Chains A and B, each alone.
Chain A
Amino acid sequence: MTAVSFDTAPKTAARRRERWANGRTYISAILIFIWCLIPFYWMIVTAFRDVGYTFDSTPFFTHVTWDNFTTVFSENLGNHFGRNLLNSLFVAGVTTVIALLFGVFAAYALSRLEFRFKFLVLGFVLGASMFPGVALVTPLFQLFTNIGWYGTYQALIIPNISFVLPLTVYTLTSFFREMPWELEESARIDGCTQGQAFRKVIMPLAAPAVFTTAILAFIASWNEFLIASQLSNDQTKTVTVAIAYFAGAQAHQEPYTAVMAAGTVVTIPLVILVLIFQRKIVAGLTAGAVK
């Protein structure tokens, strides 16, 4: 087995084998591309298609129109998509800010300081992030109905914190662990107080990690459906709920093209954000899981 290929097999065979392996990699890569992107592409094509051609199977942009987008944002059908968008922005934004505010300090302590119960705290945080949403919906539904919070923004933000905060703490902890903390020590030797060292040296270094975590937290909160579908009313309904129960011009007839347009509006900013910060997001997603 050992030296055979060096002696007898001509170079071209090895090269051909290599080219074949490369070819297989490209074929697989193209398959993955198609599998991941075609449904998304199909949504966009349909979003721009005239209602009369909803089920047209041409894979290109045909019968292009902006009508579906005007339908989505018109209030005539009882939809309030603009308002839903603002609701989602507000709920996800506030959730992200709160989760970061509390998460940064906890993650700093978990990654940097030595204390008792550390293992327990991490276990609790991780357990919390895997907690089933339904276990919260029932008691919160009753509680919020009793105290008159049903359909308020806080009724959506508070449950969202329950899964966004653990995510924030967990991701930030693994990011912080990778940071060059020696710099903080050096700054202190050079005469900074602990607070100064943290503000002037560590904070600028931590900014990208915090920003990445903010994106992950925002996406998680923006995508939330279960809690929003149960605890929001017409005023506070978020986009995911709005899309799921979008009303069309005809009763009992799914307004496919309009829904695809709504989906496009909600998805495109996210996809752009994700593509721009692709590397960081992958780092954030995989941070805790493998090390």
Chain B
Amino acid sequence: MSTLAQPKKAPETPSPKTKKVQKEVGQDRAATSQGRWAFWLISPALVLLAVVIVYPVVNAIIMAFQKDQGLDPVTKVFVQGGPAGLDNFVHWLAQQCGSAACAPGTLGSQFWSAVGTTFFFTVVTVVLETVLGFWMAVIMARSFRGRSALRAAVLVPWAIPTAVTAKLWFFIFAFDGIANKLFGTAILWTGSEWPARWAIIISDVWKTTPFMALLILAGLQIIPAEVYEAAKVDGASAWQRFTQITLPLVKPALMVAVLFRVLDALRMYDLPAIMTQGSNGTTTLSILVVDQIRQGFNSAAALSTITFLIIFLVAFIFVRFLGANAVASATPKTKGQDK
């Protein structure tokens, strides 16, 4: 694995002149001692992470291959589970309850609709947040009086706990609430399918667009102003400047922001759980897992493993094919050690 990190670094570390000689002579020894030092500094955090993440996840995977305890349908005796093979996964993926298809209304019958809902929320919210966030970022990047006040204001939705956001929008979207009054409508926002979905989407967009906007703004600010001036002199229109300069240059930051948001949206729980309790076609995968916990740990473990794999797969696609490399952007390149 060191081959991954080392060769990449070697050409990119311009050591200051004064350190060069010392570095060449004592490089091996220094590297070993630094490695040992680093080991002692990092292991506590890694051990802690292993305890709080790796252990539960391994545990969940083991649970996923075991039967839930319950009444044996033949003998009518309470049985203690045992190995289940792939039964729990088949239960969700093929929506099989026992030997028959799961009856409508049972949790088992909701897997694919939950997948659909989760992806629907993810795509719609992330697209809206990206477009709106980009617009906000472009405005915030301009210089005008009150700019810092605006930058402070966008942090307000971000700072509010999602549970409070959910209750706030639940109130706004109440039947007698301000949304219906403002638009002169009489919509049962959280009580019927599509309005409920849109209520959740609007709440999520309100809460998380600022985060998106700030990440994009940070990306915008590293573009040197001279590039725009040069393009302006050469006669590029505003739209050309946007598509030819802004978009390509901000792309790395944008992709990381989108990746963060997509993974966040795929595990969405708080908003639908509080606003609709997952009713009216707003059951996301996370809600389904939590509902299932009450009915059987092992099936829930299988479902959470599937959820984890879906999120992992999406992250993999982003990093591998869409170039959203958050790790690379976090790895010190020219900065750091040899600065």
Select one of B44, B168, B290 contacting A137, CB under 8 A.
B290
A220, chain B: closest CB distance, angstroms: 10
Indicate whether A121 reaches chain B with its CB closer than 8 angstroms: yes
Q: Is the CB of B336 within 8 A of A138?
A: no
Which one of B70-78, B101-109, B123-131, B305-313 is at the A interface? B305-313
- From B9, B45, B304, B308, A103 is in contact (CB under 8 Å) with B45
Residues of A within 8 A of B266 (CB): 132
**Chain B residues, CB < 8 A from A166:** 49
Instruction: Name the distance in Å between A178's Cβ and chain B's nearest Cβ.
Output: 7
Q: Is the interface of A mostly helix, strand, loop or mixed?
A: helix
Interface band, chain B:
35 or more
CA distance in complex: A43, B326 (Å) = 36
Q: What's the minimum C-beta distance from B220 to chain A, rounded to whole angstroms?
A: 9
Give chain A nearest CB distance to B56 CB in angstroms: 4
- B278, CB-defined interface residue at 8 Å: no
Q: Which residue of B lies closest to A242 (CB)?
A: B163
Q: Are B35 and A114 interface neighbours, CB within 8 A?
A: yes
Is the CB of A69 closer than 8 A to any CB of chain B?
no
Which residues of B, 133-176, contact A by the 8 Å Cβ criterion? Answer: 135-136, 139-140, 142, 144, 146-148, 150-164, 166-172, 174, 176
B4 on the A face (CB < 8 A): yes
Verify A36–B156 contact, CB threshold 8 A: yes
Q: In A130-171, which residues have CB < 8 Å from any B CB?
A: 130-143, 158-159, 161-162, 165-166, 169-170
Total A-B pairs, Cβ < 8 A:
328
B115 close to A (CB within 8 Å): no
Q: Is the CB of B332 within 8 A of A134?
A: no
For B286, the closest partner residue in chain A by CB is: A134
Q: Considering only CB atoms, which chain B residue lies closest to A181 in the complex? A: B339
Q: A126-B330, A162-B52, A275-B155 are in contact. Are A113 and B144 (CB under 8 A)?
A: no
**Beyond A240-B163, A289-B326, is A278–B152 a contact (Cβ under 8 Å)?**
yes
Write the A15-39 contact mask toward B (1 if CB under 8 angstroms, else 0). Answer: 0000000100110110011011101
Q: Which of A70-78, A202-210, A221-229 contacts B (4 or more CB under 8 A)?
A: A221-229
Residue of A nearest to B235 (CB): A1
B1 touches A116 (CB 8 A): yes
Contact across chains for A274 and B330 when beta carbons are under 8 A apart: no
Which residues from chain A contact B41 at a C-beta distance below 8 Å?
A: 105-106, 108-109, 113
Contact between A290 and B219, CB atoms less than 8 A apart: yes
Q: Is A247 an interface residue (CB 8 A)?
A: no
A159 to B339, CA, bound (A): 37
* Residues of A bordering B, CB below 8 Å: 1-2, 22, 25-26, 28-29, 32-33, 35-37, 39-40, 42-43, 46, 54-55, 57, 98, 102-103, 105-106, 108-128, 130-143, 158-159, 161-162, 165-166, 169-170, 173-174, 177-178, 181-182, 219, 222-223, 225-226, 229-230, 239-241, 243-244, 254, 256, 259-260, 263, 266-267, 270-271, 273-275, 278, 281-282, 285-286, 288-291
Q: A114-B38, A122-B330 are in contact. List 17 more A-B contacts (CB 8 A).
A: A25-B142, A29-B144, A32-B139, A32-B140, A42-B168, A43-B164, A54-B176, A113-B41, A119-B4, A126-B326, A131-B308, A135-B60, A136-B60, A182-B339, A271-B156, A288-B329, A290-B256
Question: Which residue numbers of B lie inside 8 Å of A, CB to CB?
Answer: 1-2, 4-6, 8-9, 30-31, 34-35, 37-39, 41-42, 44-46, 48-49, 51-53, 56-57, 59-60, 63, 135-136, 139-140, 142, 144, 146-148, 150-164, 166-172, 174, 176-178, 181-182, 206, 210-211, 214-215, 217-219, 222, 235, 252-253, 256-257, 260, 263-264, 266-267, 269-270, 273-274, 285-286, 289-290, 293, 297, 300-301, 304-305, 307-308, 311, 315, 326-327, 329-332, 335-337, 339
